Amino acid sequence: MQAKHHILYIEDHDDTRVVMTLLLEQAGFQVTSVSTGAEFVALAKSQRFDLFLLNHTFPDASGVALCMGVREYDTEIPILFYSSRAMPAEKEQAMKAGANDYLIKPNDIFNIAEHAVKWISRSKKQSA
């Protein structure tokens, strides 16, 4: 039996985090969810994940800064943004920081699992 792909998801809005975690788990992923940048950094550096799912803004950090921080030590794990920040400049900022994809809340909620599978598959093929 193949192990579930493990996603580290950061979202500071409790209801959104719970709903997204349930949707991803129902799609077959193992999800570790956190609400702060500090928690994200600690887990990202201490555990192995197949994908990082970030929001754009948190009380203690920005998704762009977290993305740049991850890219300093890992260029292969896919990073997806799921944010209500829908301006082209915000998407461009995230992509320049090293994100692989940028999805918009709430419109793309049912596309996240599909995008996660796509990026994890690409990552696995490149590292094989």
1 within a domain of the structure (yes/no) = no
Q: What is the pTM of this model?
A: 0.92
33 within a domain of the structure (yes/no) = yes
How many of the other CB atoms lie within 10 Å of CB of 55? 24
Round to whole Å and give the CA distance between 82 and 63.
10
pLDDT tens for the chain, residues 1 to 128:
456 999 999 999 999 899 999 999 999 999 999 999 999 999 999 999 999 999 988 888 899 999 999 999 999 999 999 998 888 999 999 999 999 999 998 877 778 899 999 999 988 776 65
84 within a domain of the structure (yes/no) = yes
Report DSSP letters for 67-122, one per residue: HHHHHHH-SSS-EEEEES---HHHHHHHHHHT-SEEEETTTTGGGHHHHHHHHHHH
Number of domains in the chain: 1
DSSP state of 7: E
14 within a domain of the structure (yes/no) = yes
Query: Please, how many CA atoms are within 13 Å of residue 25, restricted to the half-sphere of its CB?
Result: 10
Q: Which domain holds residue 58?
A: 6-127
DSSP state of 9: E
18 within a domain of the structure (yes/no) = yes
Round to whole Å and give the CA distance between 84 and 31.
21
